[in-house]
A and B are shown apart, each in its own frame.
Chain A
Amino acid sequence: MTNAPLTTVDGRAITLQSVSKIWGDSRAVDDLSIEVPAGTFTALLGPSGCGKSTTLRMIAGLESVDEGRIRIGDEEVNERAPSKRDLSMVFQSYALFPHLSVAENIVFGLKVRRVSRADRDARLNRVADLLGLSALLERKPAQLSGGQQQRVALGRAIIGEKPVCLMDEPLSNLDAKLRQEMRTEIRALQQQLGFTMVYVTHDQVEAITMADQVVLLNKGRLEQAATPRDLYERPATPFSARFVGTPPMNLIPASALKPLAQADTLLIGVRPEALILDPKGPITAKVKTVEYHGADTLAECSINSEPMQVRLSGGSVVTAGDTVSFGFAAEALHVFDVMQNCRRDDLLPEIGAMLCS
């Protein structure tokens, strides 16, 4: 599918400066500042209700901006109508026009902008080729499968060759296998055509695998904006640490570990897969349940009633009821400050020396 020639576009950067959206007395988006460099793929990630859609809709102009400024390219667009922002959007429900055929759906925007018929047809052919829709052009949306509808929505978004494309959970209605395929396809399309993408998802795997930059939101506020690698390897807050990775990172209150008993505002973070069986290790826990997964074993443990998950390689054996000691490498250590809700890299050497041999 990647050999069809399609015009590339110059993506535009998007900047949000202290943007807020207020509904009644709740702040759906609160003082949010993000930078989306031109031609890159940014994922807005976060739990349900954290304001991802609202943020995206403010960028699109479908929702007014109550505070702050949004810039696309070099221009502030706060007061600009959606049609004047030069962007395209894919909705979660696809929002295909049910009375129009696939072809008419895709060229809708070109028709509205009075692009000549020849140009329209040429572009339609290219997009249909690219997305494998050529055989379906005469059908109505109701006669398509979910995945095909999704492609039509995608086609409608890319045919306009807009510098910015917004997507709101476009894959959430598809089954797991198709989602996987479309993920790769959308990412390839974005890199091939070069537009700037803002992609909303609540699925961390989607965000991590597709994006150049992941913006993690929580309750309308920015938790962390970073590359997927940084987000996973150096989460900035306890929330980021728990949100990314399956099973999530263990955050153990420092007071539960003997050497750190006085440091009661600190959280010690270790990913389940970083823990290893070590009789001399600093973490002593009681195994509660054991799940055998073939390649590895997931053990649910507790340290003084604080829960902790451990992922052990297939060979290691633990049994429910055992009391086991775990250790980990110094590089796998994360330290967070609960009071300041931040990461404490300055404490890593000191605590690392105490916990890891």
Chain B
Amino acid sequence: MMRRMALKREWIHGWLLLLPAMVFLFAFTHIPAITTFINSFYSTPRGKRAAKFIGTANYERMFDDPVFWQVLWNNIWFAVGTIPLSIGLAIVMALWVNEKMIGRSFLRMAFFTPTVLPLIAVANIWMFFYTPGFGLFDQLRSGLFGLPSTNYLGSPDTALNAIIVVTVWKEAGFFMIFYLAALQAMPVSLKEAAQIEGANRWTIFWRITFPMLMPTTLFVTVNAVINSFRLVDHIFILTDGGPDNASALLLFYIYETAFRFWETGYGATLTVALLALLSLLAIGQFFFFDKKVHYK
């Protein structure tokens, strides 16, 4: 009897301790997610007309929506353009600043700076690079090669790529920190053992260092994928999705739909699509990497 009482008290105690965190988690994550899912089956309420259940009409609309497919395609291109490039750059930078040399801490700081800069500052810097006619790139183009000025952010062919460049620039430094930490945790004797066995730097990197960085690569890739579907702020400042949706990404389109055109029902549907996509990617990545990563 006594034991059961005590056990029950412990239980209550435990749940009470969990309560504050649970309240916030439910109030701000789970309930909105469920509400969004429910809303995606309702029409958008307008004026006196309340939202009414319309079944999968929103989803049908989505599959027929050319803009949805365009931003989805943009987003895939954006992910493919940013992720390998920023990870590759991060590894190269990490390897570089992991070497013993003078000015190492300065270099580390320099590489990390883009990550800590506020977005407005980043955008301003790149505006200065990209401005047609006066921007750094155009100055170089006309100064060195006598080429005509271009509007990187304003033309549909280059707008998304211009944003990719900015994103890589901002993210590579951040990912570098993770790789640097992993490199520093790696025993030097492994490299020395490989050296004695006759491996050159190239072999050491591909046969030892890179495989041992796999857990970091998994972590960074998952983050990078999620980031690539979460990014909106750069777009607001640099292109506002234009021209003609050429640089709009999925989340940006959701924002526009829900909060510029106030189509909240359709916005909810798009959000559900985004969430489904992200979960699928996360699960897929873990399965894909599983065999290659866990050597312990």
Binding site for B on A (CB under 8 A): 60-62, 81-83, 87-89, 91, 93, 95, 97-99, 108-109, 112-113, 140, 142, 156, 160
Binding site for A on B (CB under 8 A): 187, 189-190, 192-200, 203, 207-208, 211-212, 214, 295-296
Cβ-defined partner of B295 (8 Å) among A81, A87, A93, A99: A99
Interchain CA distance A229-B211 in the complex, whole Å? 49
Q: Are the C-beta atoms of B212 and A99 separated by less than 8 Å?
A: yes
- Nearest B residue to A113 via CB reads B198
Q: Are the C-beta atoms of B199 and A83 separated by less than 8 Å?
A: yes
Cβ-defined partner of B197 (8 Å) among A83, A98, A140: A83
B182 vs chain A, min Cβ distance (A): 13
B200 vs chain A, min Cβ distance (A): 7
Question: Which A residues touch B199, using CB under 8 A?
Answer: 83, 108-109, 112
Please provide the 10 A-B residue pairs with the shortest distance between their CB atoms, ordered closest to farther: A109-B197, A95-B193, A95-B189, A99-B295, A83-B198, A99-B211, A82-B195, A112-B199, A91-B189, A112-B198
B132 vs chain A, min Cβ distance (A): 50
Q: Are the C-beta atoms of A160 and B295 separated by less than 8 Å?
A: no
B186 vs chain A, min Cβ distance (A): 10
Cβ-defined partner of A97 (8 Å) among B190, B198, B203: B190
Q: Are the C-beta atoms of A93 and B197 separated by less than 8 Å?
A: no
Given A99-B211, A99-B212, CB of A62 within 8 Å of CB of B192: yes
Secondary structure class of chain B's binding surface, majority of residues? helix
Question: Which A residues touch B295, using CB under 8 A?
Answer: 98-99, 140, 142
Can you pick out 28 interface pairs between chain A and chain B where the beta carbons lie within 8 Å of each other?
A60-B196, A62-B195, A62-B196, A83-B200, A88-B196, A91-B189, A91-B192, A91-B193, A93-B189, A95-B187, A95-B189, A97-B208, A98-B212, A98-B296, A99-B211, A99-B212, A108-B194, A108-B207, A109-B198, A109-B199, A112-B197, A112-B207, A140-B295, A142-B295, A142-B296, A156-B193, A156-B197, A160-B197
Interchain CA distance A60-B203 in the complex, whole Å? 19
Interchain CA distance A113-B196 in the complex, whole Å? 12
Question: Which A residues touch B187, using CB under 8 A?
Answer: 93, 95
Q: Are the C-beta atoms of A82 and B192 separated by less than 8 Å?
A: yes
B220 vs chain A, min Cβ distance (A): 18
Question: Which B residues touch A60, using CB under 8 A?
Answer: 192, 196
Interchain CA distance A61-B195 in the complex, whole Å? 10
- Nearest B residue to A99 via CB reads B295
Question: Which A residues touch B193, using CB under 8 A?
Answer: 89, 91, 95, 97, 156
Question: Which B residues touch A97, using CB under 8 A?
Answer: 190, 193-194, 207-208, 212
B191 vs chain A, min Cβ distance (A): 9
Question: Which A residues touch B212, using CB under 8 A?
Answer: 97-99
Question: Which B residues touch A160, using CB under 8 A?
Answer: 197
Q: Are the C-beta atoms of B192 and A95 separated by less than 8 Å?
A: yes
Interchain CA distance A89-B200 in the complex, whole Å? 17
Interchain CA distance A97-B208 in the complex, whole Å? 7
Question: Which A residues touch B189, using CB under 8 A?
Answer: 91, 93, 95
A223 vs chain B, min Cβ distance (A): 28
- Nearest A residue to B190 via CB reads A95
Question: Which B residues touch A89, using CB under 8 A?
Answer: 192-193, 196
A195 vs chain B, min Cβ distance (A): 14
